[in-house]
Structure 1
Amino acid sequence: MHMLTCRVTACLQLGAVYTEGGMVEGKNHRLGLLSSMDVFKGIPFAAPPGRFEKPKPHPGWEGVLKATKYRERCLQVTLMQTSTHGSEDCLYLNIWVPQGRTVSTSLPVMIYFFGGAFLLGVSNDVSFMGNSLYDGEEVASRGNVIVVTINYRVGTLGFLSTGDARGPGNYGLWDQHAAIAWVHRNIQAFGGDSENITIFGQSAGSASVSFQMLSPYNKGLFRRAISQCGVALSPWALQKNPLALAQRIAHQVGCPTDEKLMDCLKITDPVALTVAGKLALGEIGNGPVVDLLELSPVVDGDLIPEHPSKLFHNAADIDYIAGTNSMDGHLFAGMDVPSINQKYKPTYPEDIKRLLAGLTRDKGELGVNHSFSTYTQNWVPDPDQETIKQTVVDIETDYLFLVPTQTALYLHASNAKSAKTYSYIFNMPTRIPGFPSWMGADHAEDVQYVFGKPFSTPLIYLPRHRDVSGFMIAYWTNFARTGDPNKGESKVPATWPPFTSSGRHYLEIDNKINRDSIKHDLRVRYVHYWTTTYASLPSLATSPTN
């Protein structure tokens, strides 16, 4: 019997696959008696990119490319920003193809964009226990889909812009577009359905998903999209004053700041350029951390023809899931108001006013007062510390993530033709030790569950973590297959209704999903406040640019 299954599974692998650049060969490993996984690592989807240029097609290769090792990340600062790592030659992708009793054909395809504030990140981020955080195997095998993870340029080399034709910017977004187009042209040879591609991502990768949906360049290249904690409308997702930032970086590397700026940057040491684009962490405390996230996409009149809010007609036929984590803003709040994480250190109403003064700078005192009274109107006369600290987190969560995401959902639903829209909030209590007992889900805590870490590294998780991970993989892969998270090959614990401008339903995701997890009007008062009341306050004529 054993011999037979070996023989059966031995032939159920792709072997060398023919792509537009040449033949590629990955590795196949056994999962169960009748299932295995083909894994391809490090397939180039474009040529090594020119500095501050759009990606170009790869010239191809002779013979068979051994696609068995992850390639280097795009040149970027390290997490502590003390040095750099990676390479300018970094436009590669990785593919997971599940195989069963017969060789897979016409499988749904899911392309993942990593997060990292547009400053760092890599498609094969190594996390705990030697297992890459973005390893596609659990999603591919549990959902019977092909998973693709891609690299794109980040930091200075990915997003520096002069705001005009000399340095239009968005190089990292062009890389993503090139990867989507490559997958669309080649994935059939791997057993994928080129007409059923879903893009998904988290944080900066989630905002990237949103930009790609809105760009006219992707017409017909993918059918569905999932944004986890970030959209093109997020305040950190668009550069406000690209030229000033480009001049500051030029000045730091000794380049002129006049019309010769780009010519000089193109021949400057790439490591120096990358270091010049790092976050000014010394500035923390002088204003909200979000102000330091400056290198991001721009409205370039090309890939992003105008302000994202005006581009939702381009996504009228793209099915969309978008949501945020219940305490997405905590990561930022903890840097802006450190006392919220210190048990014995009080947080004062003045701290909230100071935070709001930074976030609402262009509306002046009026913005601070309106916002403060909106967020404190339910307080009792002498609020306890938990109330005050949670309010800080709520403000940053709403402002940076939740309200922009809800706005994008409204715009998507009201422009939709054939497309469906789904809204969620991820509310699994934090696993990060030492955080306050009232903590919900912090920024990026959803990723481990979507990628099935509780299954692949079971020792550091509990059964409830496997429950929520199984639920998310089921909803996500059903959606990739059919455009409806409830329909597909996986059972789900509750029927998740679409989000409509009138119904405004959403799903609260945790380990106990049931009928009561379907709710509506998510934080609608605060969504209304930021999008209507606050937006209509007069702006200060001379709002300082960062």
Structure 2
Amino acid sequence: MIWPVYKSGQNSLQCHTCSHYLMMMVMLGVFISVALVLGTANAASLGSVYTEGGMVQGKSRSVGLFRHVDVFKGIPFAAQPGRLAKPVPHPGWDGVLKAYEYANRCMQLNILGKEVLGSEDCLYLNIWVPHGSSVSTNLPVMVFIYGGGFLMGGGMGANFLNNYLYDGQEIADRGNVIVVTFNYRVGALGFLSTGDADAPGNYGLWDQHAAIAWVHRNIRAFGGNPANITLFGESAGGASVNFQILSPKNKGLVRRAISQSGVALCPWAINRNPRQSAEKIAKKVGCPTDSKMVACLKMTDPKIVTLAGNVELSTSASDPIVHKLDLSPVIDGDFVPGEPDTLFQNAADIDYIAGVNDMDGHLFATVDIPSINNALVSTPVADVRALSNSLSDARGQDAGAATYQEYTVNWGSNPSDQDIKKTIVEIETDYIFLVPTQTALYLHTDHAKSARTYSYLFTEPSRMPIFPLWMGADHAEDLQFVFGKPFETPLGYFPRHRDVSKYMIAYWSNFAQTGDPNKGESSVPVAWPEFAGTGHKYLDIHNSMNKNSVKQMLRTRKVYYWTTVFASYPSVQKS
């Protein structure tokens, strides 16, 4: 637009044109302001929603012009559970439940293992529902299961300045999916088992199942499609996702699943001697270890029982922390009817993504060998040998020597301190996460009927400034990107981090919509091929993805070593 210029003696039309244009601009500004106000005031929203327990009312958040997310927090999906018992249905409520605040976490130890947090009344869930100019219907549903070693965690996640890690808003809005998070019992109250009918265990898994079943029964009222539910979870949550699709109890409830850094085959995911763990807790709290043990534990203060289930953090290369995580699921003949590797036929029609972070074992290696992160302190070769022996102890000393040889074969005669430290991280990453995950992918593909299988490796370098320069992605570092934190708190991240987050939300939500991470409402940087077929392809996820991000045969030699060579050594009976 060229502004007309008024000159003395000319017809006043030109100046009138100025005034007319100014008036148009003012009216346009008013129109935009009114539209913004109306977009907020009259935004699409569910209002009160009818569920099987009664009416619930959430809050509506504006996330952009004519884009809102309805948020419901603290909806009960089961009653307060009995001690060491399966969850039971909630009796319901009168009136309208104001679902505005997160409920208590389930009873658990704090991060230091010294204090007890949370409540036994904890089986609640949270829902995020995105809307455009009209109320959403028939949306895909993504149900998240948190990690924490089966010892801690909550459906809201860690909190910093009221910014909760597992806030589902960014995934819901950017992926156009409903997001659900929930609490489940952890620690002694969630996983203590006597290995028999007295206390069969797996209460936390039953809680997860109860939440999934509640979502299946009720999510249509929130605009969700109960026939299109995707589970996703990280660490113990990733293993839980795997348990849920392997269990016959969820038949018909789950369409797809994503396991991040954890599967049911991980060495920490099954407790093979639950009676011993239960007796150790009973002795700590002064209960007998005979037939009266469970009755005594049920009458003991739950905080004392929870505290007795703490993990001893005095670890070393010869006594690694992975061997101390014994409050975990058990093969109960019910929810987990057999060895996990024999149950993959139950997931034959469930699409599956599984992957790990390239240095997932770093967190565990740091606990076992603190010098890993200290550039001023060398890590002795003896620590590599001790770690190899301790992780191989189920197969004996010869297996330990073979593990050491496998991981040091390329060292040469004089390995650098960096070589030694990286090797320790590699051993723990492979043993604790990567090899079990690859094994699960092979099993899922082998048993698949209609199901598709996808593999990934997350390699975005750690943002922790105290870590060595050679660090890749540590355990749990993928979560901030999946939950869109670089968008929610932009000042804490660089543009490249928003790229990673955009990619992950796109792949994850497309997969939830269609079963194919490449097809859906979101564009992706490169096509992610299926795992099945030649090469067993996987996607390398980081901030600068292109066609070279599609790779194949992820650490095949190490997978072969652990699943074939190592497994060929005879098992050693422990006293």
State the TM-score, normalized to the length of structure 2: 0.93
Task: Select 1:140's aligned residue among 172, 193, 211.
Answer: 172
Change (3 A) 1:292 1:39: same
Q: Is the 8 A contact 1:361 1:543 kept in 2?
A: no
Aligned to 1:28: 60
Aligned to 2:310: 278
1:503 to partner: Cα distance: 3.0
CA distance in 2, matches of 1:532, 1:501: 21
Aligned to 1:436: 468
CA distance in 2, matches of 1:331, 1:501: 33
Task: Select 2:536's aligned residue among 504, 512, 522.
Answer: 504
Structure 2 residue 552 is the aligned partner of structure 1 residue 520: yes
Task: Select 2:279's aligned residue among 247, 250, 261.
Answer: 247
1:282 to partner: Cα distance: 3.5
Counterparts of 1:455-494 in structure 2, within 5 Å, are 455-494=487-526
1:45 to partner: Cα distance: 0.4
CA distance in 1, matches of 2:159, 2:90: 30
Per-residue Cα deviation, 1:470-527 (whole angstroms, up to 9, x for no partner):
0000000000000000000000000000001533000000001100000000000000
State the TM-score, normalized to the length of structure 1: 0.98
1:33 to partner: Cα distance: 1.6
Aligned residues: 543
CA distance in 2, matches of 1:353, 1:380: 16
What stretches of structure 1 of length at least 5 have no aligned partner? none
CA distance in 2, matches of 1:203, 1:537: 28
CA distance in 2, matches of 1:50, 1:222: 27
CA distance in 1, matches of 2:510, 2:318: 45
Aligned to 1:208: 240
Per-residue Cα deviation, 1:228-249 (whole angstroms, up to 9, x for no partner):
0000000000002100110110
CA distance in 2, matches of 1:475, 1:419: 17
CA distance in 1, matches of 2:100, 2:234: 26
Q: Is the 8 A contact 2:453 2:532 kept in 1?
A: yes
Aligned to 1:186: 218
CA distance in 2, matches of 1:118, 1:204: 6
Aligned to 2:386: 354
Q: Is the 8 A contact 1:35 1:99 kept in 2?
A: yes
Counterparts of 1:145-156 in structure 2, within 5 Å, are 145-156=177-188
Task: Select 2:84's aligned residue among 45, 49, 52.
Answer: 52
CA distance in 2, matches of 1:71, 1:343: 43
Q: Is the 8 A contact 1:129 1:457 kept in 2?
A: no
Counterparts of 1:358-397 in structure 2, within 5 Å, are 358-397=390-429
SS at match of 1:163: coil
CA distance in 2, matches of 1:446, 1:4: 38
Structure 2 residue 124 is the aligned partner of structure 1 residue 92: yes
CA distance in 1, matches of 2:300, 2:332: 24
What stretches of structure 2 of length at least 5 have no aligned partner? 1-30
Q: Is the 8 A contact 1:237 1:297 kept in 2?
A: yes
Task: Detail structure 1 runs of 4+ shifted over 6 Å in the superposition.
Answer: none
Change (3 A) 1:60 1:238: same
Aligned to 2:574: 543
Task: Select 1:289's aligned residue among 317, 321, 329.
Answer: 321
How large is the RMSD of aligned CA atoms in angstroms? 1.1
Structure 2 residue 367 is the aligned partner of structure 1 residue 332: no
Letter in 1 for 2:470: W
Aligned to 1:174: 206
Letter in 2 for 1:127: N
Q: Is the 8 A contact 1:328 1:401 kept in 2?
A: yes
CA distance in 1, matches of 2:378, 2:318: 20
Task: Select 2:436's aligned residue among 387, 394, 404.
Answer: 404
CA distance in 2, matches of 1:514, 1:4: 40
Structure 2 residue 478 is the aligned partner of structure 1 residue 446: yes
Letter in 2 for 1:464: R
CA distance in 2, matches of 1:405, 1:15: 42
Letter in 2 for 1:346: S
Change (3 A) 1:482 1:314: same
CA distance in 2, matches of 1:432, 1:379: 28
CA distance in 1, matches of 2:227, 2:430: 35
Task: Select 2:355's aligned residue among 309, 317, 323.
Answer: 323
Letter in 1 for 2:286: G
SS at match of 1:535: helix
Higher deviation after alignment, 354-363 or 204-213: 354-363
CA distance in 2, matches of 1:83, 1:129: 21
CA distance in 2, matches of 1:46, 1:427: 39
1:368 to partner: Cα distance: 1.1
Per-residue Cα deviation, 1:402-432 (whole angstroms, up to 9, x for no partner):
0000000000000000000000000011111
Structure 2 residue 449 is the aligned partner of structure 1 residue 417: yes
CA distance in 1, matches of 2:555, 2:117: 41
SS at match of 1:31: strand
Aligned to 1:263: 295
Counterparts of 1:208-247 in structure 2, within 5 Å, are 208-247=240-279
1:543 to partner: Cα distance: 2.3
CA distance in 2, matches of 1:150, 1:224: 18
1:285 to partner: Cα distance: 6.0
CA distance in 1, matches of 2:77, 2:235: 23
CA distance in 2, matches of 1:120, 1:328: 18
1:291 to partner: Cα distance: 1.1
Letter in 2 for 1:311: L
Per-residue Cα deviation, 1:180-231 (whole angstroms, up to 9, x for no partner):
0000000000000000000000000000000001000001101000000000
Aligned to 1:112: 144
SS at match of 2:259: strand
Letter in 2 for 1:479: F
CA distance in 1, matches of 2:254, 2:283: 41
Counterparts of 1:51-70 in structure 2, within 5 Å, are 51-70=83-102
Letter in 2 for 1:272: I
1:355 to partner: Cα distance: 0.7
Q: Is the 8 A contact 2:318 2:389 kept in 1?
A: no
Q: Is the 8 A contact 1:414 1:501 kept in 2?
A: no
Q: Is the 8 A contact 1:424 1:506 kept in 2?
A: yes
Q: Is the 8 A contact 1:347 1:388 kept in 2?
A: yes
1:6 to partner: Cα distance: 4.1
CA distance in 2, matches of 1:374, 1:218: 40
Structure 2 residue 331 is the aligned partner of structure 1 residue 299: yes
Q: Is the 8 A contact 2:147 2:235 kept in 1?
A: yes
SS at match of 1:300: coil
1:125 to partner: Cα distance: 2.0
